[in-house]
Amino acid sequence: MTNIVIVGSSDFVIELAKRLERKENKIIVVVEDKEKALDISSSESGIIVINGNPLDPKILEELNLKECEVFVAADKREETNLLTCLYAKKEGVSKIFAKVVNKRTGKLLEEMSDIIPINFDESAASNVALKIEEPLVSELVLGSGKFEIVEKKTEFYPNLIGKRINKVKGNFFTTLAVYQDGEFHFLPNTVIKDGATLIVLREAGKRKEMKKALKELK
C-alpha cells in the first residue's frame, strides 16, 4: 500500500484519486472548499478527505508527510502547488508532482529539482496515475519520446492473417497484443484472424519503415 496525498478539488483530482484508490493505496485529498470536501467525502468512501487550507501549518502537520511516498499538488493556484511541493520535498517525500500553468515554470522545476510538473491540458488523470504506479512503463510510452504504441488493422495487411503474433516483429518494432473477437489476446502463439487489430510498440519516427516491413512479412 502506498500513502498518497493529493491537494485540490478539480475533476482531475477526483478522477486521479479514484484511479489510485482502486489499487488499494491510502489516498488523502486536501480540499479547501468545505462543500466540495463534503461532496467528495460522501461520494468516495475509500478516500480520506481533509478540509482546510493546504498552506496552513496545522493541515500540513496533520498530513504526516514523513509517511507519504507520493505527493500531488493540483490546486488551481500555481503558487500553492509550488509551496506545498517544496514542503513535501523538505519532509522527504520521494515522488512529487506539481500542476503548473506556465511552461517556463515546468522547465525550471525539471532542471532545478526532482519535482515532476504536470499540465492538465496534456496530462490526463490516467497518465499521471501511470507515472505514479508504473513509472518505467510511463517512461517508455509517455516520457522518453523514443517509442510509441500504435494500432495496425489486418484489412491493410492481409498477409498477417494466420500468423502468430510473436512472428510479427522487426528490428524496431514488436507486437504486444491483438484485438479480435471482441477482446485482447496477449499469448505469443495467438493466431491473427481476419478483421483483427494489432497493438504494436515501435521506435518513434519509424512509421513508413514499419509499414513497409509489415507488408513484406511472409
* CA dist., res. 191 & res. 160, Å (int): 9
pLDDT at res. 5: 95
Q: How far apart are CA 154 and CA 138, in angstroms?
A: 28
pLDDT confidence of residue 51: 95
Residues 115, 59 within the same domain = yes
Q: What is the pLDDT of residue 89?
A: 92
Q: How big is the chain, counted in residues?
A: 218
Residues 152 and 139 in one domain: no
118 plus 171 within the same structural domain = no
Say how far apart CA 39 and CA 36 lie, in whole Å: 5
DSSP string computed for 178-209: EEETTEEE--TTPBP-TT-EEEEEEETT-HHH
Shared domain check, 170 and 99: no
Same domain, yes or no, for 115 and 9? yes
Looking at 143, 160, 188, the residue that finishes a domain is 143
Residue where a domain stops, chosen among 143, 163, 196: 143
Count: domains in the chain: 2
Out of 143, 162, 194, pick the residue that ends a domain.
Answer: 143
- Return the pLDDT at 49: 94
Predicted pLDDT of residue 14: 86
Same domain, 25 and 82: yes
Residues 66 and 91 in one domain: yes
17 lies in the same domain as 119: yes
- pLDDT tens sequence for the chain (218 residues): 689 999 998 888 888 888 887 777 889 999 999 998 888 888 777 889 999 999 999 999 999 999 999 999 999 898 999 999 999 999 999 999 998 887 777 777 777 777 888 876 555 666 777 677 766 666 665 555 577 788 999 999 999 999 999 999 999 999 999 999 999 999 999 999 999 999 998 888 888 999 999 999 98
Same-domain check for residues 102 and 190? no
Q: Which helix (H) or strand (E) holds 19?
A: helix 11-21
- Residue pLDDT, tens place only, 157-213: 999 999 999 999 999 999 999 999 999 999 999 999 999 999 998 888 888 999 999
Domain range holding 73? 3-143
pTM of the model: 0.64
Same domain, 184 and 139: no
20 and 32 belong to one structural domain: yes
CATH classification of the domain holding 134 = 3.40.50.720
187 shares a domain with 121? no
The CATH number assigned to the domain holding 196 equals: 3.30.70.1450
